[in-house]
Amino acid sequence: MDERPRRSDPGLFKTLADDARSVSADLQKRGWRREFGGAFSGLEAFYLSEDNRARLQGMSSVGRWLHRLWWLIEGLLMKLTPVRRVLLALALVQVVVGVQRVQFGNVSISFVGVGEVLLVIILMLELKDKLIARRELEAGRAVQLALMPEATPPVPGWEVWLHNEPANDVGGDLVDHMKIDARRHGVALGDVAGKALPAALLMVKLQATLRALAPQFDGLGDLGSAVNRIVQRDGLPNRFATLVYLVLTEGSGEVRVLNAGHMPPVVMRAGALDRLPPGSMALGIMPEATFAEQRVELSDGDVLIAFSDGVSEAMDASGDFFGDERLSAAIREAAGRPAAVIGERLLQAVHAFVGDAPRHDDVSLMILRRVPLSSP
């Protein structure tokens, strides 16, 4: 019997063949311009300064091409570590100039293939760093998912649907549900300024602070002040967070609202849409900021929708925003349906609008629908 271990991975050549078929299908579907244009635009946005991108607009086509190429190379070199910067510079010189052999007296040194080898070494080092960072981000995302509530937490008399979709590996939006006591439930949607890992770490801090303090305060204005002092004290310069925190009571249609600098939630009653009044200041800006509690009464079938700016400010490939009008239209089209269906319809509308454009911000939604209290 052959007891040699079998390979679990598909192997290099099969992977390359599958990749070639996938790329070919994408090119046939989207074309060269759409397939590679977005990637090239992303390179420019990452490696070129805003000043250089602006200067390109006033150049001739040849000048624009030459300056773009040089600035991309310069930007690449400046983002490397010193050792890798020197290696890449040597590799580029050898490849471009084409130095194949150098004579030192009677000694001849061959440089054939040195540039290419250096390029491969640098690529391997950069890829190693990227994969290590990716594993760490995946671990961070796993922690975030563990801290997330279930999508439809049970609240008697309410349908609750929560959703969070990060633009990057980890996100800075907070979506949470907590049971405060025997009858009261807290539901939160927040948005930490910034993106990726720094915003994600501050989001976890905000979530822990809110969960620790919420049961200690009856008034939401006092709760907002307490959370704000901690966020301001322990936060970073120019970092703040917006928050919508709602308290639901089992068997009651009253919703108590703390809005700290977030976009006002939308209430849908019989197909009509109303926005709640604007809220107070965002968290973490001023240590002595004051916060006010709002209250709204919902009847059976009424829906309250809170969302992050990643919904209303989702962008398509042309740079247009999804906007409040499209959001309102999508909400009206989903009227009369369960909370989960409303949420899925809104997500479908946003995704259809964005299409293949890159995601610029986290997408978070909170849908609350008042329903008759079930009999015991």
Q: Where are the domains of the chain?
A: 12-140, 150-370
pLDDT computed for residue 326 by the predictor: 93
Among 289, 141, 159, CA closest to 225: 289
- pLDDT, one tens digit per residue, over 334-344 is 988 999 999 99
What does the block give as tokens for 343?
């949420």
Q: What distances in angstroms separate CA 278 from CA 191, 284, 286, one per listed residue?
A: 16, 18, 18
Phi then psi for 240, rounded to 5 degrees? -145, 175
Per-residue pLDDT averaged across 14-30, rounded? 77
Sheet holding 272-275, edge to edge: 158-165, 363-370, 303-307, 266-269, 272-275
Q: Rounded to whole angstroms, how far apart are CA atoms 56 and 71?
A: 10
Per-residue pLDDT averaged across 215-234, rounded? 92
Instruction: Please tell me whether the overall predicted TM-score, pTM, comes out greater than 0.85 for this model.
Output: no
* Predicted confidence band of residue 291 (pLDDT cuts 50, 70, 90): very high
Residue of higher predicted confidence among 242 and 374: 242
Alpha helices in 185-219 (DSSP H): 196-213
Class of domain 150-370 (CATH, top level): alpha beta
- Cβ atoms within 10 A of the Cβ of 126, count? 15
Structure letter (DSSP) for residue 80? S
pLDDT computed for residue 375 by the predictor: 41
Which helix (H) or strand (E) segment holds residue 159: the answer is: strand 158-165
| pLDDT of 93 over the 90 cut | no
* Three-class secondary structure of residue 131 per DSSP: helix
Q: Rounded to whole angstroms, how far apart are CA atoms 93 and 81?
A: 18
- Cβ atoms within 10 A of the Cβ of 347, count? 16
Unique residue bearing structure tokens 């019997």:
1
- pLDDT, one tens digit per residue, over 161-197 is 999 888 777 777 889 999 999 899 999 999 988 777 7
Among 365, 375, 368, 371, CA closest to 164: 365
| pLDDT of 125 over the 70 cut | yes
Q: What distances in angstroms separate CA 25 from CA 11, 13, 166, 194, 317, one per listed residue?
A: 21, 18, 27, 36, 21
Q: What distances in angstroms separate CA 16 from CA 8, 12, 27, 269, 363, one per listed residue?
A: 16, 6, 16, 55, 34
